[in-house]
Amino acid sequence: MIEVIQPTRGERFVRLVLTRLIKVLVAVVLLTPAACAHQRQADLIPFTGKTAASVEEAGPSQKVQTPGSGMLSASGRGVRAGSLVGAGAGTQCGYLAILCMPAFGVVGALGGGVYGAVAAEPKSLLEEAERVLYDAIAEAEIGKSTGLHLVEYAKENGHTIELAPAAVAVTSGGGGGTALGDAGYEMILQVSDIHLVLLPAPVGVTEVIPRRRLLVQAQVRLLSAARKEVVADRIVTSTLGSTLELKEWVKDHGQALRKETQAASRVLAEEIVSELFLLQKFPVRTISARAPLFELSLSGVMPIHPALPNGPADEPSCESVMPTLEWEPYPGEEVSYDLKIWERYELTTGVLVYHRERLETTSHKLEEPLQPARGYVWSIRVHFRKDGRSWVTEWSSYQFGPNLTGKVMTMGLAPQRGQSYYYFRTPKSSK
């Protein structure tokens, strides 16, 4: 008879710790060299000839989504937010906090649940938003406007895109390619299935009613005119600037939604041209953070003022509501910079409040004041020329995560912050 000896609780704990530690060390050994050697290269189309563009209109037959939340989900978010607020209030009870926190948390959860149910977006509001979005798409003629912006933005960046002649029927299988090839076109650019979506932004822990932002996407195919071969086939997606509650999108006969829809064709066209022909992705740079056990992964130009935060909980500040933003220079020829500033809202960017293009210096003093005592998010994008071509980088961003020591000491449990733009807070006074 074989006697099975069960390990003690302490032995099981030691085994668990050692197993987790070995897994972390193996992952670090296997992944670190690849991460160091990895350089994010642009996935660009290597040609310089003429391109014929065919853009389908976003008609009523295409589905327009306005994802809803509903009473139950709003009530659930209210319970979460209320319990957190209540428990936070309970910490003010001093020695009785151990009793107050759960009691206040329960009261807060009940109140938050009721508030969430009452404040939930009604079905009629979702239907109105969908109707306004349909009307806005029809008024904007998204397909036609996208085609015109494709031609314009490509020309600005040294590429030739022309709208395909109306007499040539361009099909998904490359139909019309022979005629276009005979006319001197090297490539055929097809843009179809254009959708505009009111997409809920990431919800913060104390948020009950989600904000939404407008997302535009399209199916994009690039074919060889002569060989009818597919060179690229992808869905191109871009989010526009503003993040608002649904009731704000539809008020005043949908003024905000109509304005954003008008801008959608330009944003989509620039994203298509950039992804296919211009985009230069940054190599990832690893920077030691002042916070123990953490490091920064930077994809972009380094911000100088406001500087990068010292740790995950740090928030850089500015001395004025009209600060001078500064960043490191980018090496290259004919370099210029685009700057965007958004309101900082919970886990995402809020309303786009400031935008400048083609700045020729590495610093910029804001020409319009920001709001005092408020958080903002900002980023830089670079335009430059190389090898006789125009290029544009992605928007600069960074990510916080544990360094090697942090991974080992926390057995892989240290939190990692998602990729984000730079941020800062304005002073309390507007002077």
pTM above 0.75, yes or no: no
Could you read off the pLDDT of 171-186 as tens digits, one per residue? 555 555 567 777 888 8
Co-location of 201 and 62 in the same domain: yes
Whether a cis peptide bond, with omega within 30° of 0, leads into 306 is yes
Co-location of 264 and 391 in the same domain: no
Co-location of 313 and 355 in the same domain: yes
Co-location of 129 and 262 in the same domain: yes
Higher pLDDT, 197 or 114: 197
Co-location of 324 and 256 in the same domain: no
Alpha helices in 193-315 (DSSP H): 246-273
Q: What is the CATH number of the domain that holds 207?
A: 3.30.160
Q: Kindly give the pairing relationship between strand 333-345 and strand 324-327.
A: unpaired
Residues 6+ apart with CB under 8 A from 425: 315, 316, 317, 318, 373, 374, 375, 376
The answer to the question of residue 110 being in a domain is yes
Strand partners, 425: 317, 375
Q: What is the CATH number of the domain that holds 376?
A: 2.60.40.10
Could you read off the pLDDT of 287-311 as tens digits, one per residue? 776 656 677 889 999 999 999 887 6
The answer to the question of residue 292 being in a domain is yes
- Calpha distance 153→173 (Å, rounded): 26
Co-location of 126 and 246 in the same domain: yes
Q: Looking at residue 36, what is its pLDDT?
A: 36
What does the mean pLDDT of the chain come to?
Answer: 74
Co-location of 263 and 341 in the same domain: no
Co-location of 378 and 239 in the same domain: no
- The whole domain housing 203 covers 50-67+122-164+187-220+234-279
Co-location of 366 and 246 in the same domain: no
Residues 6+ apart with CB under 8 A from 81: 112, 116, 205, 206, 207, 208
Co-location of 63 and 210 in the same domain: yes
Co-location of 154 and 268 in the same domain: yes
Domain count, the chain: 3
Count of H-run helices and E-run strands, the chain: 8, 17
CA angle 390, 394, 401 (to 5 degrees): 150
- Calpha distance 6→342 (Å, rounded): 59
The answer to the question of residue 244 being in a domain is yes
Q: Looking at residue 329, what is its pLDDT?
A: 96
The mean-pLDDT minimum among 27-36, 261-270, 367-376 falls in 27-36
The answer to the question of residue 209 being in a domain is yes
Co-location of 202 and 351 in the same domain: no
Higher pLDDT, 64 or 84: 84
